[in-house]
Structure 1
Amino acid sequence: MTDEEIAKRLRQKDMDIFDYIMENYNKLLWVVVGNILEKVGSSEDIEDCISDVYIKLLENPKIYDHKKGSLKSFLVRIGKNLAIDRYRKITRGNMIAIHEDYSEHDDLLQFILAQENRIKILEALDTLNEPDREIIIRRYYYNEKVKVISEKMSLSSKKVENKLYQGKLKLKTILIAEEGF
């Protein structure tokens, strides 16, 4: 099913399309949201966040425009943003979670800075265009090999390596511009 067909059925509030979307993208969202919330949240927090992605799409199906990008990247972006918001909410209001994670670290300040840096990196990553964003996520979040990425995305290995290099330079520029990361 094409993204255009999905977008059309979403606007028609076809409930079968939501089943299709959940069936095909739930694992991906679990990985994306889980990577952000795994240290501070519970599995219920992750499930709630994923449900919020679907609810957001259900309540306002016009927010997805297939002309601007794939449904996959749209759902990942929404999931990441909601997970980052939930992460901030949990860590602000729950110093116990930070304290529990801190027990594994030597220095509380180092731990807090590392968590803040992770959020900044995710936000910077969200500003990259496709396919750069997807390539970097596949390589550095899912630890996929360049060869696997090139096969899955129908790109040459050299192209993937170039995109990784260029993407890292863009991220570096963005992060340096923000508070001298």
Structure 2
Amino acid sequence: MTHEEYKKASDRSKEEAQRIVFKEYFNYVYTIVFSRLRSCASREDIEECVGDVFADVYIHYDNSKAVGEDISGFIGTVARNKAADMYRKLTRKRFTFVSVDDEDVPEQEAPENTEADYEKKELRTSLMNCISLLGEPDSTIIMQKYFFMRSSQEIADKVSLTPEAVRMRCSRALKKLREKLTAMNISL
């Protein structure tokens, strides 16, 4: 969506402009927030953060200060900042601070499987890159089904397809994904 399109929709009706932005950028925002919070947040926390992102976009977006054509940069920045804030908020609760002089402090040990952790991270990055190469709506279907554990009906509502079409596209996308991963010498 461009600044002009948003401005025209906003001039007609603020609610309509907000609905259009939400519909067009929901998956984008959800992916950004989920990738940052998946290790520490519940599904409800992630959905709350997504809602906060859109609330901030609606409150703080100013057409007169708009730079460039597309508003996705602004929305992405708000999503990253909100996800970082939520991450700090959630992880701050987990950590307790202990004095260095305290004798009861256990010694910090090095992680046991640093190499395995690195390989998992590289595999995850390669997998995400291959999924994004599938294009829309296949990448969204795969992400929603296997990362967010959504049903075919829920995915169908998001991508405006029937549940049967979602299942068919999913199986075809998995086949393409397997071929791409095999070409990269990755087997799952």
TM-score (norm 1): 0.51
- Does residue 120 in structure 1 map to residue 110 in structure 2? no
Amino acid at match of 2:31: V
Aligned counterpart, 1:107: 113
Pick aligned residue for 2:177 from 157, 165, 171: 171
Return 5+ residue gaps in structure 1 as ranges.
41-45, 65-73, 84-99
Return 5+ residue gaps in structure 2 as ranges.
40-48, 81-107
How many Å separate the matches in 1 of 2:163 and 2:38?
Answer: 33
- Over the aligned positions, Cα root-mean-square deviation in angstroms equals 4.6
Amino acid at match of 1:24: F
Aligned residues: 134
Aligned counterpart, 2:5: 8
How many Å separate the matches in 1 of 2:160 and 2:70?
Answer: 28
Q: Percent identity?
A: 17
How many Å separate the matches in 1 of 2:167 and 2:158?
Answer: 14
Aligned ranges for residues 152-167 of structure 1 at < 5 Å?
A: 152-167=158-173
Give the drift of 1:150: 2.5
Query: Based on CA coordinates, which of the two structures has the bigger radius of gyration?
Result: 2
How many Å separate the matches in 2 of 1:110 and 1:125?
Answer: 22
TM-score (norm 2): 0.49
1:159/1:121 CA distance change after superposition, 3 Å: same
Pick aligned residue for 2:67 from 42, 59, 68: 59
1:31/1:59 CA distance change after superposition, 3 Å: same
How many Å separate the matches in 1 of 2:26 and 2:70?
Answer: 22
